[in-house]
Amino acid sequence: MVRGYKDYILEYVQQFPCNEPIYNALIAENLAKKFNVQVEQTKKIVNVNLKRLFDKDKLERFQKGIYYKTTLTPFGKMRLDPALVVRDKYIKNNGNIIGYETDASFFNRIGLNTQMPRYMYIATYLGKRGYGVKEKLHIILRKAPTEVTTDNHFYLQILDAVENKNNISINANNPENIFLSYIKKRCLDMNQLQTYARKYYPKRVLRKINV
């Protein structure tokens, strides 16, 4: 049975694309389902086997619990792009949106300012803990006003921007047009936008979008 575990993990890793994050926890979950055992049992098995592959230079380690298969370039081994881990952990998980870009980096992305911030800002909902600077991922995690979903993330994103408009530098000539253009581009319903503003944001945000 143990050999079955090992073969499963090896096959999983071999079939996995290069330069994509491999998560210990995800393999442990799949292994538990495959062999109908408790995930707590498979976690240790996965950790041991991935560590062995790392020791044999079959895998690279990005950080605790995250490995990847690298490719060689003329400049050496290609490193894993941290944005891929950010995507999986804080923006999109199992096809469902769980977070969105916000604050200064979002302002830069949509053209409200030209200053590139040091970090990407991500809003997500992790309960009471886990927010702040994540140096390894080059991000700052903000607490979203509610659980982020595929249906609400664009609404929350633009409402965050409206709320922070006076707190973040803007050097665009027509910021209001940029806000309106984003709303139209995402096909946001104004009634729904007002509903989210009323429910999750200070009254001043609702007043701004009602102007």
Report pLDDT digits (tens) over 143-191: 999 999 999 999 999 999 999 988 898 998 889 899 999 999 999 999 9
Three-state secondary structure call for residue 106 = helix
DSSP state of 136: G
Q: Which of 119, 184, 198, 193 is nearest to 152 (CA)?
A: 193
Task: State the CATH number of the domain containing residue 45.
Answer: 1.10.10.10
What angle, 0 to 180 degrees and rounded to 10, lies between the N-to-C axes of helices 203-210 and 190-200? Answer: 160
Query: Do 73 and 115 belong to one domain?
Result: no
Structural domain harbouring 169: 82-210
Q: Which residues pair with 77 in a beta bridge?
A: 72
Query: Do 203 and 171 belong to one domain?
Result: yes
Strands 76-77, 72-73: pairing kind: antiparallel
Query: Do 191 and 112 belong to one domain?
Result: yes
Query: Do 67 and 87 belong to one domain?
Result: no
Cα–Cα distance measured from residue 205 to residue 211, given in angstroms and rounded to the nearest whole number: 10
For residue range 104-118, list pLDDT tens digits in order: 999 999 999 998 899
Choose one of 46, 77, 108: the last residue of a domain.
Answer: 77
pTM for the predicted model, two decimal places: 0.84
- Biggest CA pair distance of the chain: 66
56: left (phi over 0), alpha (psi -120 to 50) or beta: alpha
Cα–Cα distance measured from residue 126 to residue 132, given in angstroms and rounded to the nearest whole number: 12
Query: Do 139 and 73 belong to one domain?
Result: no
Count of structural domains within the chain: 2
For residue range 115-140, list pLDDT tens digits in order: 889 999 999 998 888 899 999 999 99
The pLDDT assigned to 129 comes to: 80
